[in-house]
Amino acid sequence: MKTLVVAERKGSELRRVTLELAAKARELGEATIVEIAGERYSPMPFVSALAKKVESEKPDLVLLGATLNGRDLGARLAARLGRAYAADVTGLRAEGNAVEVDKPMYAGKVRAKLRVDLPAVVSVRPGALTLKGAADAPPQVENIEADTSAEKLTFVKLEGTATAAKRVSLSDARVIVSGGRGLKGPENWHLVEELADALGGAVGASRAVTDAGWRPNEEQVGQTGKTVTPDLYIALGISGAIQHLAGMTSSKVIVAVNKDPDADIFKIADYGVVADVFEFVPAFTEAVKKARAS
Amino acid sequence: MKILIPLKQVPDSTVRVKVAPDGKSVATEGITWSISPYDEYAIEMALERKDADPSTVVAVVAVGPARSRDALRQALAMGCDEASLVIADAAAPLAVARALAKVVEEAKPDLVLCGKQASDDDQGFVGPALAELLGWPHVATITKVAPTDGGVELWREVEGGHEVWKAPLPALATVHKSEKEPRYPSLPGIMKAKKKEIPERPISALGVDGSGPTWTVLSMEPPPTRGGGKILKDGDAKQIAEQLATALRDEAKVL
């Protein structure tokens, strides 16, 4: 099978999901990895450049990371090319003249297996495919220029949030520490942040917290926020509403800290601690530092 | 300004979704249907524009089964001005976008707001696909829209902040969130919505046949259940913290 992988970079580094896709593409057969060079992602210039590449290379399958930009680009590309499209899949296998994909639906409440006939466009959830480490050589990436003649939008400005720069993003993070209403207020978020920093992880939040304006929307994990699959998810003072669980139950290891022993979050946690977050979290942050140092 | 919102009716997000006995679909018996959550945010965003400028017209349209009429009625009760229904029972995603493109060509909105994805298939296809078919620019996953000279400014949530884009009209955006939570229908809103006509027609009346590239469902199952977790409770906070850190490092191997 001939596969075209659309690479994404964060800063100067290829995103981990690009390496995951490149490894999968090599496993499926002939792989080409392209990166669209442009100042910043914009749908029309990117789709236009990518569609030209697809028309010349004629890959059976176009793979993108199911990232913010990858999902948008994949959808518009599939419409331009009239190809079948599956978004945010968590597994993918060749099956004759089709691919069979695993796709969470209903915000993760259902796992579907779908047959998608080729040619197709598929976006794959970051972290869902395994990397074998050193065996996966860094891929050769071919650059194509964004087609700026297709642009109809004007970029005005970037408004940054203060917390953004220093931590890894939720979708890339292998460790996520999320806080809920149990933290009692935004002034206590240093507890979440210190633990996240001790683990080298990202900071998340429950919907109750982002709705209350304690934290920015982009940190929300759950049905109307981000769906995440880190190796370690730590829920602090989160009760475990079904909408929150939908966004994080696929995490490999889940830790829950909550005062209420009947909180639903404990039903899916691998490790639970029934405790007051204000007492437990500082002690745990220290213990993590020690455990990682030894 | 005229704003059009295509909406989809989906199982309510508080409902426990069950796989049907055929193992290939979701059991719909007794289910509560609602407007898909991101579509509700799109409606709220449009109604906030209408609050700021009462000359704004907010229209909703659904391409779907006949039951979608209830979702349209709900949108009218929230304060939308117009609603129409295109009946399509199992149209391919691209056919839905094609039908919507026809509706847009007729209704001539300045701005189309779509939820960023429907909460049933979680695809996020129809918004960008509709913009593509119309040849319109689009901005994905916005949280704010504001009119500006000759167009609109659209705030797009990205890692680390917001990108602000200016789009000429007509334009399309997919909505991640509105500034406020979606409003509940008021009693007068509900009364008014009851009296409004919701014209309906089959998808074929738009010259669209419902076919298009899609997938075949091989199976559906509930996610694997988690459980059998441990509750750590021996000792004081410091001791439990140390047990947990050690377990994460040596047993779970995630530190």
Residue B131 is encoded by which pair of tokens? Answer: 């913009």
Q: What parts of chain A have a pLDDT lower than 70?
A: 133-136, 161-166
| Residue B249, pLDDT above cutoff 70 | yes
Instruction: Report residue B217: phi and psi, to 5°.
Output: -80, 120
Report the interhelical angle of A190-199 vs A277-293 (nearest 10°): 20
Find the mean pLDDT for residues B55-80. Answer: 98
For residue A135, what pLDDT is reported?
A: 57
Average confidence score pLDDT of chain A: 93
Asked whether the beta carbons of residue B232 and residue A273 sit closer than 8 angstroms, the reply is yes
All residues of chain B having their beta carbon less than 8 Å from the beta carbon of residue A89 are none
From CA A249, how far away is CA A88, in angstroms rounded?
15
For residue B41, what pLDDT is reported?
A: 97
Asked whether the beta carbons of residue A291 and residue B19 sit closer than 8 angstroms, the reply is no
All residues of chain A having their beta carbon less than 8 Å from the beta carbon of residue B144 are none
For residue A163, what pLDDT is reported?
A: 52
Q: What is the pLDDT of residues B12-38, one digit of tens each?
A: 987 788 999 999 999 998 899 999 999
Q: Which of B124, B137, B159 sits opposite A44 (nearest CB)?
A: B137
From CA B189, how far away is CA A145, in angstroms rounded?
51
pLDDT confidence tier of residue B225, bands split at 50, 70 and 90 = confident
pTM of the predicted protein model: 0.88
Asked whether the beta carbons of residue B237 and residue A279 sit closer than 8 angstroms, the reply is yes
Which residues in chain A (153-212) have CB-CB distances under 8 A to chain B? 153-161, 164-165, 169, 171, 175, 199, 211
Average confidence score pLDDT of chain B: 95
Asked whether the beta carbons of residue B124 and residue A71 sit closer than 8 angstroms, the reply is yes
Asked whether the beta carbons of residue B241 and residue A283 sit closer than 8 angstroms, the reply is yes
For residue B224, what pLDDT is reported?
A: 78
| CA-based nearest distance B107→chain A, Å | 22
All residues of chain B having their beta carbon less than 8 Å from the beta carbon of residue A254 are 226, 229
According to DSSP H, which parts of B125-214 are helical? 126-134, 187-195
| CA-based nearest distance A202→chain B, Å | 12
Find the mean pLDDT for residues B123-129. Answer: 98
Q: Which of B13, B177, B227 sits opposite A267 (nearest CB)?
A: B227
Pick among B226, B249, B250 to test the A interface (most A CBs inside 10 A): B226
From CA B48, how far away is CA B182, in angstroms rounded?
10
| Extended strands (E) in B12-66 | 33-35, 57-64
For residue B128, what pLDDT is reported?
A: 98
A43 in contact with B, Cβ within 8 Å: yes
From CA A85, how far away is CA B213, in angstroms rounded?
8
| Residue B183 CA from chain centroid, whole number | 15
| Residue A65 CA from chain centroid, whole number | 8
From CA A238, how far away is CA A241, in angstroms rounded?
8
Residue A258 is encoded by which pair of tokens? Answer: 């909550």
DSSP 3-state assignment of B71? Answer: helix
Under 8 Å CB pairs connecting chains A and B tally to: 265
From CA B244, how far away is CA A257, in angstroms rounded?
11
| CA-based nearest distance A26→chain B, Å | 24
Q: Which of B215, B218, B245 sits opposite A86 (nearest CB)?
A: B215
A82 touches A33 (CB < 8 A): no
All residues of chain A having their beta carbon less than 8 Å from the beta carbon of residue B221 are 110-111
Q: What is the ipTM of this complex?
A: 0.93
| Residue B160, pLDDT above cutoff 80 | no
